[in-house]
Structure 1
Amino acid sequence: MIDVDLSALSLADLKKLETDVAKYIATFEERQKAEARAAAEAIAKKFGFALSDLIQGNAPKKKPTPEAKYRHPERPAVTWSGRGRKPGWISEGLAAGKTLEDFAI
């Protein structure tokens, strides 16, 4: 801990110190991240890579959205891909004697 004699400072100096400390605290995490990023870039460069090349290679791949196979008969914007739990409107239609082909797109 730094030992500072605050009693030797004027009110204006204390208020300026208070403002400076508040700013420093507010930006502390951003400065830590910047230092960590710079260190990681230096290590990547040491091995002949750019940090962005290494990060992009480990990004999770997004699964494509399955194509809709069935459409609600009264509300065409409501669809179902045939995967997962059957929507209520499909279950109701099947209970009423319809087949999945009746809902096919």
Structure 2
Amino acid sequence: MAEFDVETLSLKELKSLQKDLAKAISNFEDRKKSDARSKLEGIAKEMGYSLAELIGTDVKPTRAPAAAKYRHPDNSDLTWSGRVRKPLWFVAALDAGKSPEDLAVN
């Protein structure tokens, strides 16, 4: 491994090095996980199973999208569930004097 003095590097070089290190660490972790998965799949196959059969399906459970609580007054395709950040059209409607009840989905 090459040795060098990080104290002599510029800020741009340090940030580039930091980015390269983060990528190298991520790639290393991905390789280790892939190796572990391959070994486990081999063991499962020797015993007559697939890894998915032993640990469950590979499909991650997903949550259904939240139901719309508010609808744009002019464009019914634009809706908002009332979660997270308010959309700009909702804020603009409130600023224009509408109330949340006026925009509620019926």
TM-score normalised per structure 2: 0.52
Q: Cα–Cα, structure 1 residues 102 and 94, in superposed 2: closer, same or farther, change >3 Å?
A: same
**Identity score, percent:** 43
- 3-state SS of paired residue (1:85): coil
- 3-state SS of paired residue (2:40): helix
Per-residue CA distance 1:35-56 (angstroms, 9 max, x = gap): x75x533312456642222454
Match of 1:76 in 2: 76
Q: Distance in 2 between matches of 1:45 and 1:88?
A: 54
Gaps of 5+ in 1: 1-32
For residue 60 of structure 2, what is the amino acid of its counterpart?
Answer: P
Aligned length: 70
Q: Distance in 1 between matches of 2:83 and 2:54?
A: 35
For residue 102 of structure 1, what is the amino acid of its counterpart?
Answer: D
Query: For the pair shown, which has the larger CA radius of gyration, 1 or 2?
Result: 1
Gaps of 5+ in 2: 1-33
The alpha-carbon deviation at position 100 of structure 1 amounts to: 0.6
Q: Give the root-mean-square deviation of aligned CA atoms.
A: 2.7
Q: Distance in 2 between matches of 1:91 and 1:54?
A: 50
Match of 2:63 in 1: 63
Per-residue CA distance 1:51-83 (angstroms, 9 max, x = gap): 222454465322221111111010001111111
Contact kept? 2:52, 2:58, Cα under 8 Å:
no
Q: Distance in 2 between matches of 1:67 and 1:78?
A: 13
TM-score normalised per structure 1: 0.52
Q: Distance in 2 between matches of 1:54 and 1:80?
A: 40
